Amino acid sequence: MNNITDKEFDLIRGYIKQEYGINLGDEKKSLVYSRLRNVLTDLNIDDFTQYYDYLINDKSGRASITFIDKMTTNHTYFMREVDHFYYFRDTVLPYLEKNIKDRDLRIWCAGCSSGEESCTLEILLDEYFSEKQGWNTELLATDVSTNVLKKASLGIYSKEQIKPLDDNWKNLYFEDVDDKNVKICKKIKSKITYRKFNLMENHFPFRKKFHVIFCRNVMIYFDNETRTKLINKFYDASAEGAYLFIGHSETLNNTDTEYKYVLPAVYRKL
Ligand SMILES: C[S@@+](CC[C@H](N)C(=O)[O-])C[C@H]1O[C@@H](n2cnc3c(N)ncnc32)[C@H](O)[C@@H]1O
C-alpha cells in the first residue's frame, strides 16, 4: 500500500475537523497512516485518495463509523482526576439536593469513552440518593465512537482496571465474570443511558437542562474556535447554577464564555 501523501493527509484532516472537530497538527501524519493502514488493507484500497473518496461517498454509514473508531483516542481509567469525584460527591450533590425543587436531577457525561467515568458517577449517585425519597436521577453518557460505547454498554472491565476503587465498591457494585474480569452490576448499568452523539452537532436535542456536565479530556483535541462553540452549547444546555467539569489539562481561559471559574477545571453557570 502507498504511504500517505501531504495532500491526502490534508484531505483526511480536513474531514475529521469538519465532521468531528478533531484538530490534527502536521506531526499527526504518521499517526493517521498507522491508524488507518489496516482499514485500507481490509477494503482492498491501495491509497488514501481512493480511501477518502470512499469515506465521503459511503451512504451506509459504515465508513465513518470505522473511521472515527480508529481515529479517536479513547484512553480513560477509573478514578481519573479523582478530586473531581470527591468535589462532585461532597459539594455538588449536596448543593443540588438542596436546590433542585422538583427532585429531577440530570447529568451528562460527554465523551464517556468505555464507561469508567460514567460508572463512577452513577455509583456516587447511588450512594448519595439511594436512601433519599422521591429523587429521579438521570445520567446520560455519550461518545462519538461506536466501539467504546459497545464496551461501555457491556460494562466488563479487568480486575486490574478496577484496582483504584475501594474494596467496598468492588464488592457492592461489581460481579465476577471470570478470574480476570468483572462486570458492573445491573443496578448501576441499567441507570446509565449510553448514546452515540457527536458534540459537533449544531443543535443539542435535549429537552431538559443539565445540572452537571462532565466533558473531560475531550476538548484537548479541538482548536479554540471549536472549543468556544462547544462550551457555549454546553452553557445553553445547562440549568442555572449548573456545573461543568473539564479535564485538568484544559482551561476555558481563551474561550469567550459566560461560565464562572470555581476550581481548576470546574466551572459554573451563575
Ligand atoms: C480521551 S477520551 C476521555 C474519556 C473520559 N472523559 C476521561 O476523561 O477519561 C476522549 C473521548 O472523546 C470522544 N470524542 C472525541 N471527539 C468527539 C466528538 N466530536 N463528539 C463526541 N465525542 C468525541 C472520543 O471518542 C473519546 O472516547
Cβ atoms 117, 214 nearer than 8 A: yes
Same domain, 24 and 106: no
**pTM given for the model:** 0.97
Quote the percentage of the chain above a pLDDT of 70: 100
Q: Based on the domain organization, do 119 and 40 belong to the same domain?
A: no
Residue to substitute in 66, 72, 197 for testing ligand 1 pocket (most ligand atoms within 8 angstroms of CB)? 72
Whether 117 and 241 share a structural domain: yes
The separation between CA 162 and the C-alpha centre of its own chain, rounded to angstroms, equals 19
Given CA atoms 245, 251, 255, 257 in this order, what sign does their dihedral have?
A: positive
- Both 216 and 185 in one domain: the answer is yes
Cα angle value 186/234/230 (rounded, 5°): 115
Q: Which of 67, 88, 113, 142 to mutate to test the pocket of ligand 1 (most atoms within 8 A of CB)?
A: 113
Give the total number of structural domains in the chain. Answer: 2
The 10s digit of each residue's pLDDT in 199-243 is 999 999 999 999 999 999 999 999 999 999 999 999 999 999 999
Question: If you measure from the C-alpha of residue 131 to the centroid of ligand 1, how many angstroms do you get, rounded to a whole number?
Answer: 33
The amino acid sitting at 70 is K
In tens, the pLDDT along 18-60 reads 999 999 999 999 999 999 999 999 999 999 999 999 999 999 9
**7 C-alpha vs ligand 1 centroid, how far in Å?**
27
Quick one: 200 and 120 in the same domain? yes
**At 2, is the pLDDT very low, low, confident or very high (cuts 50, 70, 90)?**
confident
- Please enumerate in sequence order all residues whose Cβ is within 8 A of that of 170, keeping only pairs 6 or more positions apart, or say none: 162, 182
Report how far residue 130's alpha carbon sits from residue 137's, in angstroms, rounded to the nearest whole number: 10
Which CATH number is 262's domain given?
3.40.50.150
CA distance 58 to 246: 34
231: nearest Cα among 270, 194, 267, 193: 267
Q: Which atom of ligand 1 is nearest to the CA of 76?
A: 9
Is residue 190 one of the residues assigned to a domain?
A: yes
Quick check: 98 pLDDT over 90? yes
77 within some domain? no
In a domain, 194, yes or no: yes
Q: From CA 118, how far away is CA 110, in angstroms rounded?
A: 9
**How far does the centroid of ligand 1 lie from the alpha carbon of residue 202, in Å?**
18
Q: Which of 17, 39, 71 is the last residue of a domain?
A: 71
